[in-house]
Structure 1
Amino acid sequence: MRDESTLERADRNYNELLQELRVAQTGVQILFAFLLTIPFQQRFGEEVGAGLRGEYLATLLVTGMATAFLIAPVTMHRLLFRQGLKPQLVTAADWMAKGGLACLAVAVLLAVFLIVAVVSSQSLAFWFVGGLGALFAVTWLIVPIYVRTKY
């Protein structure tokens, strides 16, 4: 345990959370920008059938949700600034960050599915997404849970 007050701990936790969110926000912003430009490409209308258009819209939606969740802690901080609610802010921001990361994982999987389905086939896209989904599960969930319970 560190020798720090509740407010000092909340300040440190919030600063650490913001550092983590900077990495995630960059990734989701790049993915979102990519998705926003796709429909304006000439090949989009030719290569993407009705089924994949729905998948594209789902990908766009989940990426937008990830963006909202991952930026929300900054907005909350602005609205709650100097209100003496830093511990509550940290708790809410933690939940939003977790929701944003979950949405980001789904968005990446959907984007990979979309691209592989267009470039190759939907059956191969399922294999790609299955393998990548397993990698996300292991690195984002299983290893951290193992470390938390082991140490």
Structure 2
Amino acid sequence: MVELPSMSTTLTGSVSRRELLAVMGSIVPVTISGCSDFAFSNGTEGEGDTIEIMVENQTDERAAIGVRVENDDGEMLFSRVYELEPGHLDSAAGIETTPSTVTAFTPEGAAATWEYAPGLDIDCEGEDIGITLRSDNSIESWYAC
């Protein structure tokens, strides 16, 4: 823990240049010490560690959307039912392994299964899986970094 020098002035009083430099000299290094990798990199460090599952409800009603993600051997990597309000997206879940197939379905009978094959022109590892339930009860798949 860093001890800050005590300042002999109140908020309404004046601060000497020496006191200001002493406080800033203590705060700034502590503030950015944990962010140096982020501040001085291109922001791609850590990208690709997790493939996010992003599920969006673009209907006018609350919707239940089931998602199942499997690997090449048909083993389940991820399974969850999302309960989403109209116009909401949930991206709080992800997987660590590259999947093979993704299935999304609703209790109303909408269903879609596709191979995980993002093919994005963006340079990123482990493109995130996007799933959108449309107002016509169709399911659209998409990818993002």
Give the TM-score normalised by the residue count of structure 1: 0.21
Larger relative strand fraction = 2
Between Structure 1 and Structure 2, whose CA radius of gyration is higher? 2
TM-score of the two chains, using structure 2 as the length reference: 0.22
